[in-house]
Structure 1
Protein backbone atom coordinates (compact mmCIF):
# COMPACT_ATOMS: atom_id res chain seq x y z
CA UNK A 1 0.00 0.00 0.00
CA UNK A 2 1.29 3.41 -0.96
CA UNK A 3 1.11 6.40 1.34
CA UNK A 4 1.22 10.16 0.92
CA UNK A 5 1.59 13.34 2.89
CA UNK A 6 0.57 16.74 1.56
CA UNK A 7 1.82 19.81 3.39
CA UNK A 8 2.19 23.53 3.02
CA UNK A 9 4.86 25.79 4.45
CA UNK A 10 6.45 29.20 4.08
CA UNK A 11 10.06 29.75 3.01
CA UNK A 12 12.09 31.69 5.58
CA UNK A 13 13.57 33.60 2.64
CA UNK A 14 12.18 33.43 -0.89
CA UNK A 15 14.16 31.00 -3.02
CA UNK A 16 15.91 32.33 -6.08
CA UNK A 17 16.72 29.98 -8.92
CA UNK A 18 20.21 28.81 -7.85
CA UNK A 19 19.35 27.65 -4.29
CA UNK A 20 16.07 26.17 -5.55
CA UNK A 21 17.84 24.24 -8.31
CA UNK A 22 20.46 22.90 -5.87
CA UNK A 23 17.76 21.82 -3.41
CA UNK A 24 15.77 20.11 -6.18
CA UNK A 25 18.79 18.23 -7.52
CA UNK A 26 19.67 16.99 -4.02
CA UNK A 27 16.05 15.99 -3.30
CA UNK A 28 15.65 14.18 -6.61
CA UNK A 29 18.78 12.09 -6.07
CA UNK A 30 17.72 11.19 -2.54
CA UNK A 31 14.10 10.51 -3.52
CA UNK A 32 15.13 8.15 -6.33
CA UNK A 33 17.35 6.28 -3.88
CA UNK A 34 14.62 5.86 -1.23
CA UNK A 35 11.62 5.39 -3.56
CA UNK A 36 9.83 8.69 -3.00
CA UNK A 37 7.88 10.46 -5.75
CA UNK A 38 6.01 13.72 -5.59
CA UNK A 39 5.59 17.31 -6.51
CA UNK A 40 6.64 20.67 -5.11
CA UNK A 41 4.69 23.80 -6.01
CA UNK A 42 6.24 27.14 -5.16
CA UNK A 43 4.83 30.65 -5.30
CA UNK A 44 6.60 33.67 -3.79
CA UNK A 45 7.78 31.88 -0.68
CA UNK A 46 4.74 29.61 -0.35
CA UNK A 47 5.29 25.86 -0.66
CA UNK A 48 2.90 22.99 -1.24
CA UNK A 49 4.45 19.55 -1.47
CA UNK A 50 3.13 16.05 -2.04
CA UNK A 51 5.28 13.08 -1.00
CA UNK A 52 4.40 9.51 -2.06
CA UNK A 53 5.98 6.18 -1.20
CA UNK A 54 6.06 3.44 1.40
CA UNK A 55 4.54 4.69 4.66
CA UNK A 56 7.58 4.46 6.97
CA UNK A 57 9.83 6.14 4.41
CA UNK A 58 7.33 8.97 3.79
CA UNK A 59 7.01 9.57 7.54
CA UNK A 60 10.76 9.54 8.07
CA UNK A 61 11.32 12.02 5.24
CA UNK A 62 8.51 14.26 6.48
CA UNK A 63 10.06 14.43 9.96
CA UNK A 64 13.26 15.72 8.36
CA UNK A 65 11.30 18.22 6.27
CA UNK A 66 9.44 19.50 9.34
CA UNK A 67 12.76 20.39 10.97
CA UNK A 68 14.34 21.97 7.86
CA UNK A 69 15.33 25.54 8.78
CA UNK A 70 14.70 26.84 5.24
CA UNK A 71 10.96 26.99 5.89
CA UNK A 72 8.49 27.52 8.71
CA UNK A 73 4.78 27.07 9.49
CA UNK A 74 4.73 23.49 8.20
CA UNK A 75 1.09 22.39 8.14
CA UNK A 76 0.00 18.85 7.27
CA UNK A 77 -2.93 19.01 4.86
CA UNK A 78 -3.33 15.28 4.19
CA UNK A 79 -1.73 12.18 5.60
CA UNK A 80 -2.93 8.75 4.58
CA UNK A 81 -2.89 5.71 2.34
CA UNK A 82 -3.35 5.99 -1.41
CA UNK A 83 -4.27 3.30 -3.92
CA UNK A 84 -1.57 4.33 -6.37
CA UNK A 85 1.05 6.99 -6.99
CA UNK A 86 -0.18 10.07 -8.84
CA UNK A 87 3.32 11.42 -9.51
CA UNK A 88 5.16 8.19 -10.32
CA UNK A 89 7.21 9.77 -13.11
CA UNK A 90 8.61 12.51 -10.88
CA UNK A 91 11.21 11.95 -8.18
CA UNK A 92 10.34 15.55 -7.38
CA UNK A 93 8.32 17.44 -9.95
CA UNK A 94 8.57 21.19 -9.51
CA UNK A 95 6.66 24.20 -10.72
CA UNK A 96 6.85 27.85 -9.81
CA UNK A 97 3.24 28.94 -10.16
CA UNK A 98 1.31 32.20 -10.06
CA UNK A 99 -0.01 33.40 -6.70
CA UNK A 100 -3.63 33.07 -7.82
CA UNK A 101 -3.08 29.46 -8.91
CA UNK A 102 -1.40 28.63 -5.60
CA UNK A 103 -4.29 30.17 -3.65
CA UNK A 104 -6.81 28.27 -5.78
CA UNK A 105 -5.09 24.93 -5.20
CA UNK A 106 -4.75 25.61 -1.47
CA UNK A 107 -8.43 26.56 -1.16
CA UNK A 108 -9.41 23.30 -2.90
CA UNK A 109 -7.21 21.26 -0.56
CA UNK A 110 -8.52 23.08 2.52
CA UNK A 111 -12.13 22.62 1.40
CA UNK A 112 -11.60 18.84 1.44
CA UNK A 113 -9.70 18.76 4.73
CA UNK A 114 -11.01 16.70 7.59
CA UNK A 115 -10.46 17.51 11.25
CA UNK A 116 -6.79 16.97 12.21
CA UNK A 117 -7.61 13.81 14.15
CA UNK A 118 -8.99 12.09 11.05
CA UNK A 119 -6.72 13.16 8.22
CA UNK A 120 -6.71 10.76 5.30
CA UNK A 121 -5.70 10.85 1.70
CA UNK A 122 -6.52 13.77 -0.55
CA UNK A 123 -8.96 12.40 -3.09
CA UNK A 124 -7.91 11.56 -6.62
CA UNK A 125 -9.87 14.38 -8.33
CA UNK A 126 -8.05 16.94 -6.20
CA UNK A 127 -4.66 15.37 -6.95
CA UNK A 128 -5.54 15.48 -10.64
CA UNK A 129 -6.40 19.17 -10.28
CA UNK A 130 -3.03 19.85 -8.65
CA UNK A 131 -1.26 17.80 -11.30
CA UNK A 132 -3.05 19.71 -14.08
CA UNK A 133 -1.50 23.00 -12.99
CA UNK A 134 1.89 21.44 -13.44
CA UNK A 135 1.15 19.54 -16.65
CA UNK A 136 -0.14 22.72 -18.26
CA UNK A 137 3.15 24.42 -17.40
CA UNK A 138 5.53 21.61 -18.45
CA UNK A 139 7.08 20.88 -15.05
CA UNK A 140 10.77 20.93 -14.49
CA UNK A 141 11.62 17.44 -13.39
Structure 2
Protein backbone atom coordinates (compact mmCIF):
# COMPACT_ATOMS: atom_id res chain seq x y z
CA UNK A 1 0.00 0.00 0.00
CA UNK A 2 1.25 3.45 -0.86
CA UNK A 3 -0.21 6.95 -0.56
CA UNK A 4 0.88 10.31 -1.95
CA UNK A 5 0.59 13.79 -0.50
CA UNK A 6 0.61 16.74 -2.87
CA UNK A 7 0.94 20.29 -1.64
CA UNK A 8 -2.05 22.36 -2.77
CA UNK A 9 -1.00 25.85 -1.71
CA UNK A 10 1.91 27.72 -0.19
CA UNK A 11 0.54 27.08 3.28
CA UNK A 12 0.09 23.56 4.73
CA UNK A 13 -2.86 22.29 2.68
CA UNK A 14 -2.20 18.89 1.10
CA UNK A 15 -4.23 16.50 -1.00
CA UNK A 16 -3.82 12.85 -0.15
CA UNK A 17 -4.38 10.05 -2.61
CA UNK A 18 -3.96 6.30 -2.63
CA UNK A 19 -2.79 3.85 -5.26
CA UNK A 20 -5.92 1.80 -4.49
CA UNK A 21 -8.60 4.42 -5.31
CA UNK A 22 -9.11 7.70 -7.14
CA UNK A 23 -10.47 9.36 -3.99
CA UNK A 24 -8.75 12.51 -2.73
CA UNK A 25 -8.55 13.62 0.90
CA UNK A 26 -7.84 17.23 1.87
CA UNK A 27 -5.48 17.60 4.81
CA UNK A 28 -4.55 20.86 6.53
CA UNK A 29 -2.69 21.91 9.63
CA UNK A 30 -3.70 24.06 12.56
CA UNK A 31 -3.87 27.84 12.17
CA UNK A 32 -0.75 28.05 14.38
CA UNK A 33 1.33 26.51 11.58
CA UNK A 34 -0.47 28.18 8.67
CA UNK A 35 -3.53 25.97 8.31
CA UNK A 36 -6.50 27.54 6.60
CA UNK A 37 -9.28 25.09 7.48
CA UNK A 38 -9.22 23.47 4.04
CA UNK A 39 -8.94 19.90 5.22
CA UNK A 40 -8.92 17.58 8.17
CA UNK A 41 -5.96 17.50 10.51
CA UNK A 42 -3.71 14.44 10.71
CA UNK A 43 -4.83 13.41 14.20
CA UNK A 44 -8.47 13.67 13.09
CA UNK A 45 -7.57 11.23 10.33
CA UNK A 46 -6.32 8.80 12.98
CA UNK A 47 -9.71 8.89 14.71
CA UNK A 48 -11.48 8.53 11.36
CA UNK A 49 -9.28 5.55 10.50
CA UNK A 50 -10.12 3.82 13.78
CA UNK A 51 -13.84 4.52 13.48
CA UNK A 52 -14.10 3.47 9.85
CA UNK A 53 -11.99 0.35 10.31
CA UNK A 54 -14.17 -0.74 13.22
CA UNK A 55 -17.53 0.07 11.64
CA UNK A 56 -16.77 -1.69 8.36
CA UNK A 57 -16.03 -4.86 10.31
CA UNK A 58 -19.06 -4.31 12.56
CA UNK A 59 -21.40 -4.04 9.57
CA UNK A 60 -19.96 -7.18 8.02
CA UNK A 61 -20.39 -9.18 11.24
CA UNK A 62 -23.94 -7.92 11.87
CA UNK A 63 -24.93 -8.79 8.31
CA UNK A 64 -23.56 -12.32 8.76
CA UNK A 65 -25.67 -12.55 11.95
CA UNK A 66 -28.69 -11.55 9.82
CA UNK A 67 -29.30 -8.38 11.78
CA UNK A 68 -31.38 -5.71 10.04
CA UNK A 69 -29.35 -2.48 9.98
CA UNK A 70 -31.40 0.56 8.99
CA UNK A 71 -28.67 3.08 9.81
CA UNK A 72 -25.37 3.22 11.60
CA UNK A 73 -23.40 6.23 12.81
CA UNK A 74 -20.04 6.33 14.53
CA UNK A 75 -18.63 8.97 16.86
CA UNK A 76 -15.01 8.75 17.96
CA UNK A 77 -13.54 10.96 20.69
CA UNK A 78 -9.89 11.04 21.64
CA UNK A 79 -7.97 12.58 24.54
CA UNK A 80 -4.40 13.65 23.94
CA UNK A 81 -1.61 14.21 26.41
CA UNK A 82 -0.29 17.72 27.03
CA UNK A 83 3.37 16.96 26.28
CA UNK A 84 4.79 16.93 22.77
CA UNK A 85 4.22 14.76 20.88
CA UNK A 86 0.54 15.13 21.75
CA UNK A 87 -0.36 11.48 21.23
CA UNK A 88 -3.72 9.97 22.06
CA UNK A 89 -3.95 8.41 25.50
CA UNK A 90 -7.64 7.42 25.41
CA UNK A 91 -10.09 6.94 22.57
CA UNK A 92 -13.77 6.06 22.83
CA UNK A 93 -15.92 4.82 19.94
CA UNK A 94 -19.73 5.18 20.05
CA UNK A 95 -21.64 3.00 17.60
CA UNK A 96 -25.17 4.32 17.10
CA UNK A 97 -27.30 1.64 15.46
CA UNK A 98 -30.85 1.74 14.11
CA UNK A 99 -32.78 -1.32 13.08
CA UNK A 100 -34.01 -4.68 14.27
CA UNK A 101 -30.78 -5.58 16.05
CA UNK A 102 -30.29 -7.97 18.95
CA UNK A 103 -28.28 -6.19 21.65
CA UNK A 104 -26.30 -9.28 22.71
CA UNK A 105 -25.32 -9.99 19.11
CA UNK A 106 -24.40 -6.34 18.57
CA UNK A 107 -22.18 -6.27 21.67
CA UNK A 108 -20.35 -9.43 20.56
CA UNK A 109 -20.03 -8.10 17.02
CA UNK A 110 -18.56 -4.82 18.31
CA UNK A 111 -16.04 -6.65 20.46
CA UNK A 112 -14.90 -8.72 17.48
CA UNK A 113 -14.89 -5.74 15.12
CA UNK A 114 -12.88 -3.46 17.40
CA UNK A 115 -10.59 -5.84 19.27
CA UNK A 116 -10.04 -8.69 16.84
CA UNK A 117 -10.42 -7.50 13.26
CA UNK A 118 -9.55 -3.78 13.28
CA UNK A 119 -5.88 -3.34 12.39
CA UNK A 120 -5.96 0.33 13.36
CA UNK A 121 -7.08 -0.63 16.87
CA UNK A 122 -4.17 -3.05 17.22
CA UNK A 123 -1.59 -0.48 16.10
CA UNK A 124 -2.89 2.17 18.49
CA UNK A 125 -3.35 -0.26 21.41
CA UNK A 126 0.19 -1.58 20.91
CA UNK A 127 1.35 2.01 21.41
CA UNK A 128 -0.43 2.21 24.76
CA UNK A 129 -3.67 3.93 23.73
CA UNK A 130 -6.64 2.86 25.87
CA UNK A 131 -9.50 2.22 23.42
CA UNK A 132 -13.07 1.68 24.59
CA UNK A 133 -16.38 1.44 22.77
CA UNK A 134 -20.11 1.43 23.38
CA UNK A 135 -23.20 0.47 21.41
CA UNK A 136 -26.52 2.29 21.38
CA UNK A 137 -29.41 0.72 19.48
CA UNK A 138 -32.29 2.85 18.12
- Scaled by the length of structure 1, the TM-score of the pair is 0.30
Q: Which has the higher helix share?
A: 1
Structure richer in strand, relative to its length = 2
TM-score, normalised relative to structure 2: 0.30
